[in-house]
Structure 1
Amino acid sequence: MTRPRLRHLAFVVRDAERMAAFYCAQFGMELFHTDPDGSRFVTDGYLNLALIQQRLDGDVATGFNHFGFQVTDVPPIADRLAEAGVPRPALRGGDRPFAEYRAIDPEGNWFDLSEHGFLPPGAGAE
């Protein structure tokens, strides 16, 4: 049996429509579902990201810790993000084996950018 692969992440957000538009515009993700409450679901073709509309009568706070994108080249992505009005991604310090850059979306959620991926050093893509 092959190991399970991460294919879905979820955030509770204040403005699901705006967040879906951001990820579609900045990372080429595609909207594939909208719930009656306004929650949006986008995908990159492998992983899907649920952007769950926060409810005023709910008790769930917005956010999540972070997630990551593997990219071919960080500088053009960093330029697009800065043009979109979010801070330019910052080089992460320390001896991290992956996730070279930390970035932030319009609502303050962290995400990482990596040119070589998120597998431990020496691990091959399966």
Structure 2
Amino acid sequence: MPRPRIRHLALYARNPEELARFYGKHFGMETLVGDEDGNFFLHDGYLTLALLKPDMGGEAPAGMNHFGFHVDDIDRTCAELADENVPAPQRRASPRPYAEYRAIDPEGNWFDLSEHGYGVD
């Protein structure tokens, strides 16, 4: 069975649209979607990059927000994480185009889990 793969990174961005333009122009990343909230989701053919507007009244610093694993069996992965000394993964509350679950590691870093993937093969 293949191991889970990091296929997604998310950054808080002061200007997601400008960063989407920058990464498209200089690194050939394609925009998958720009949503009504001003967030942009790009890909390079393997990894997706979410450029997110800060959502805590501007108090969140620009930079890393979370990363995401593409897993083969989300139920098994969630069950295995339940054996760790961390909160159990939680189903994402709002409809997300990619990740089904959000989890946290022992150091407090957020990560997503997706069985259906991140918009690219």
Query: TM-score w.r.t. structure 1 length?
Result: 0.47
Query: TM-score w.r.t. structure 2 length?
Result: 0.49
Greater RCO structure (CA 8 Å; 6+ sep):
2
Decide which structure has the larger Cα Rg and report it: 1
Structure number with higher strand proportion: 2
